[in-house]
Chains A and B, each alone.
Chain A
Amino acid sequence: MRHVWVIAKRELGSYFSSPVAYVFLVIFLLLTGFFTFTAGQFFERGEASLAAFFGWHPWLYLVLVPAAGMRLWAEERRAGTIELLLTMPIEPWQAILGKFLASWIFLAAALALTFPVAVTANVLGSPDNGMIAAGYLGSLFLAGAYLAVTCMTSAMTRNQVVAFILSVVACLFLILAGFNPVTDLLVRWASPAFVDTVAAFSVVTHFDGFQKGVIDTRDLFFFLSVIGFSLFATSVILRNR
């Protein structure tokens, strides 16, 4: 575990030593603000909840999480430092986990900086704070799932742009499988059982519960298995360098 931490610390350092981190944080906060208060009609809803806030997260993360994670392995390949890293006396999973955790911590920090939204809701009314906490937890796991997928696509190429596009497409699939307009369309042709199976692979389906304040172990299990599977796939891709 010590090596995992050494790698994570280096990775976090490289986020904050470049403007990337600050640009990302500013854009993230601006976009959450815009979606929540303008597009999400936070005030007009007249209810003390963060539904307007969390509802957008699967779409917001679709672009922002791949942007934060695309460099993880692609940059390592481009600069050739991957050769250095993988000839150090560590197991490949330690490097994979260390890099993943560093990015996840970074995303968690960005998410934590949205606390004014929760404060606003508390000032204006009396929301269910347990529900808000569950929403934050779900949002964190949602980001983790996207990030793990981005790790995987980032390991495939030395080009960050390619990594970004691949992971947006993959994450889009994870959304659309359970997105209502799509499932409505599917129902016309396929059996409901089939539609439910497809929807079971969607992050939207599993994120819903958290938004309603329900922490279901099945939903947690879903996100953890997406993360686990993607990181495992990353290790397979890296082995075939």
Chain B
Amino acid sequence: MIRIENLVKAFGAKRAVDGVSFTVGRGEVVGFLGPNGSGKSTTMRMITGYYAPSSGRVSVGGHDVVEAPLEAKRLIGYLPENAAAYPDMTVRGFLEFAAAMRGLAGAAKRKAVARAVERCFLDSVLHQSIDTLSKGYRHRTCLAQALIHDPEVLVLDEPTDGLDPNQKHEIRNLIRELGKSKAVVFSTHILEEVDAACTRAIIIDRGRIVAQGTPDELGRPLDEVFRRITLPDTVKQ
């Protein structure tokens, strides 16, 4: 579903993403790991069409993100890193807006909102304005927005960031469940999540892929592997 070839993003002289290639098929959940500033969010922004790649190609469901952005974007549900949401709206208003933007109306819209609310456990805050939500609830509201149109491709930038342990567990289960029928990429700094939810992990450092494979292939314990591969580079930076 997602195919990335030789993706490069340069900010001035700095290459935030430097020749990354991978594919994610239906039924896969790919964990995207890497130290701070390694280029995870930048890669995801190129997949979702927010940043234009400096070079290389991204296609989603066979549609090139640069050449056919609308077709590609229709297939994607995206949770941005900061979990931004319009602060002056209520949770319900925001989800209805997201559904309308995805072309849903009437009964289909109501059903989509109800399903997203149930999946992300938002019942209790439905009528609360977003700027008064706690961080975890705001995060879940934005996640609900990403799921609203039941997309075939999910791009989630740190979906469990700021959630309490119970919610982390629930969201991991949700991701694993969704992964059975969709293509999912999510970034995280929590290595247990790789074991808990991923079929495959990609470790990226300073814009390049330094390791990938199933959790078993990468070796154990994971955090030691992660430190061995990435630490020297980040310190030098």
Asked if A and B bind, the verdict is yes
In the complex, which residues 68-122 of chain A have their Cβ closer than 8 Å to any Cβ of chain B?
Answer: 79-81, 83-84, 86-91
In the complex, which residues 141-193 of chain A have their Cβ closer than 8 Å to any Cβ of chain B?
Answer: none
Task: Decide: B74 and A89 in contact? CB cutoff 8 A.
Answer: yes
1/0 contact string of A6-32 vs chain B (CB within 8 Å):
110010011001100000000000000
Task: Decide: A81 and B101 in contact? CB cutoff 8 A.
Answer: no
Task: Decide: B102 and A84 in contact? CB cutoff 8 A.
Answer: no
By a CB distance below 8 angstroms, the chain A residues around B89 are 10, 13-14, 17
Contact surface of A with B, Cβ cutoff 8 Å: 2-3, 6-7, 10, 13-14, 17-18, 79-81, 83-84, 86-91, 241
By a CB distance below 8 angstroms, the chain A residues around B50 are 83, 86-87, 241
By a CB distance below 8 angstroms, the chain A residues around B86 are 10, 14, 79, 81
A-B contact pairs, 20 of them (CB 8 A): A3-B101, A6-B101, A10-B86, A13-B89, A14-B86, A14-B88, A17-B89, A79-B84, A83-B45, A83-B84, A84-B84, A84-B142, A86-B50, A87-B49, A87-B50, A87-B78, A88-B101, A89-B102, A89-B103, A90-B70
The distance in angstroms between the C-alpha atoms of A186 and B101, with both chains bound, is 51
1/0 contact string of B76-91 vs chain A (CB within 8 Å):
1010101011111100
Chain B CB within 10 A, most for which of A10, A13, A88: A88
The distance in angstroms between the C-alpha atoms of A13 and B100, with both chains bound, is 15
Task: Decide: A84 and B85 in contact? CB cutoff 8 A.
Answer: yes
In the complex, which residues 82-124 of chain B have their Cβ closer than 8 Å to any Cβ of chain A?
Answer: 82, 84-89, 93, 97-98, 100-103
Chain A CB within 10 A, most for which of B50, B73, B86: B86
By a CB distance below 8 angstroms, the chain B residues around A2 are 103
Q: A10-B97, A13-B88, A14-B86 are in contact. List 15 more A-B contacts (CB 8 A).
A: A3-B101, A7-B101, A14-B89, A17-B88, A17-B89, A81-B84, A81-B86, A83-B84, A84-B85, A86-B50, A87-B76, A87-B78, A88-B98, A89-B73, A91-B70
B43 at the interface (CB under 8 A from A): no
The distance in angstroms between the C-alpha atoms of A6 and B104, with both chains bound, is 11
The distance in angstroms between the C-alpha atoms of A56 and B128, with both chains bound, is 43
